[in-house]
Amino acid sequence: MELDGARETRPQEGSSLPGEWSPSALGQAFSKILHCLTGQETRLGKARDAALKDLGSLIEDTECERLFEGSGAPLRGVPEILGQVAKALEKYAAPPKEEDGRAEAHSQVAEKATEVGLLFLKLLGKVEASKNSLGCPEWKTSLRHLAGPIYIFAVTHSLEQPWTSPRSREVAREVLTSLLQVTECGSVAGFLHGENEDEKGRFTMIMGLLKPDLNKESWKNNPAIKHVFSWTLQQVTRPWLNQHLERILPPSLLISDDYQTENKILGVHCLHHIVLNVPAADLLQYNRAQVLYHAIFNHLYTPEHHLIQVVLLCLLDLFPVLEKAQQWKGDGARPTTHCDEVLQLILTHMEPEHRLLLRRTYARHLPAFVKRLGILTVRHMKRLERVIIGYLEVYDGPEEEARLKILETLKLLMQHTWPRVSCRLVVLLKALLKLICDVARDQNLTPEPVKSALLQEATDCLILLDHCSQGQVKGLLANILHSCDDSKVVNCIRKVQQVSEGASFDGT
């Protein structure tokens, strides 16, 4: 593309350098470039390439005072047109739809991003130069229009994604660093929520730019949008996030409600961040906490261990918020809680589960549920007993994560519900002794430190079981010492007897 059409409007006869153009001529030049960047016709492909080259020349050759001066431009100021050009550049470098995400398409996106990033660096360099020039106060207006699109571009291409390359990520990170420098922000968080209480920040503006691409019909048109939204959201924490709740909650719910596991996980991460950084009073208002709970709870029916992991972490942090709305007045039984409901479903899924990764994920979070419910865990004793015994019987691989977590759960269960433990003495004692014998004779690749940890945890459980049963365990184990020839098993039994005979034990 040639800039001759714009040069026809230059004010002085014979002037040919962009630095000598009037704001009107600059406005027309940028408008022509904008038209080439936003045109949909296939024939504009070469014109776009020429427009990018002309834009680079225009930025380089135009003096700062001319580049950001907008008082004489027709229809709208040059700063606003520059903002529109920045938006067009960001869209130009955006990755294609997911179904179009072929390897060659991704390499083209990375090339475009590198080219656009270098243009943004030139533009930000001009803004920085204008800051240091007393004769160009208009740079602030231009920066207001430029900051949002440049930020979205930088985040889109600085994260490691299929559409990025090492070079495009390097350029995008340079753009983000330059943007923070120009805006005088020490961090991305400061850029978004303001460096101090008096500064407004740019989070609202960024969310406004993302909003058209974050509705039900359009959010999959650009696969980068969900990552830009999620990453940006997680930069803003207390006490700034609650004022943006109406902007951030709907997109987070939308992403988490997708059929793809990857999107569900990303959406739950967003919802978890909201739960952690928005006051409970705001979440309880308008029944938002219940909406969050039901949206997250439904994911428990999906047998994907990565998803279950993030869902359970989120629910454990949501329970205190939900329980603030429940008031127990002390007259009658305590009402069942959301934690009860989730634990009941987890135990239902755990009993028949045979996939090791899911078993580990469930077992990993079981102690937290027992801690949360405390004495109220007695409501789930029968099912917990079946799960504990069933999981202690199954070898879980070299790290034995599931069995270690189940032993931790059993310890907590006995500590919180000890009056109900003595009637289960025989069943629990058999399960623990079987585990100790299995571990002691284990010829698998289980490392010795893991075996030692299992034996120690099982021994601690036996000691607790003895306390809960008023010393019955010690009596039942007495005869085993005379008939057992395994030193590891004997050592565990002696520890139980020694502690039961008067030595202190930290677990009680």
Q: What pLDDT, on the 0 to 100 scale, is given for residue 148?
A: 93
Which amino acid, 364? Answer: R
Rg (CA), the chain: 32
Tokens standing for residue 232: 């940006």
Tokens standing for residue 445: 């690749």
239-290 per-position pLDDT tens digit:
999 999 999 999 999 999 999 999 999 999 999 999 999 999 999 999 999 9
Alpha-carbon gap, residue 121 to 113, rounded angstroms: 12
pTM of full prediction above 0.85: yes
Which amino acid, 13? Answer: E
Q: What pLDDT, on the 0 to 100 scale, is given for residue 351?
A: 94
Please report, for residues 16, 101, 257, 346, 408, the alpha-carbon distance to residue 297 in angstroms, rounded to integers and kept in the order given: 66, 32, 11, 11, 25
Alpha-carbon gap, residue 460 to 457, rounded angstroms: 5
Domains of the chain are: 1-235 (1.25.40)
Q: What pLDDT, on the 0 to 100 scale, is given for residue 104?
A: 65
Please report, for residues 81, 90, 378, 464, 496, the alpha-carbon distance to residue 421 in angstroms, rounded to integers and kept in the order given: 74, 64, 10, 10, 17
393-442 per-position pLDDT tens digit:
999 888 999 999 999 999 999 999 998 998 899 999 999 999 999 998 88
Q: What pLDDT, on the 0 to 100 scale, is given for residue 67?
A: 72
Burial class (CB in 10 A: 0-12, 13-18, 19+), 172: buried
Please report, for residues 1, 13, 109, the alpha-carbon distance to residue 153 in angstroms, rounded to integers and kept in the order given: 24, 39, 12
Q: What pLDDT, on the 0 to 100 scale, is given for residue 173?
A: 96
Q: What pLDDT, on the 0 to 100 scale, is given for residue 262?
A: 95
Alpha-carbon gap, residue 363 to 347, rounded angstroms: 10
Per-residue three-class SS string for 276-288: HHCCHHHHHHHHH
pLDDT under 50 in the chain at which residues? 1-17, 19, 21, 42, 71-75, 503-508
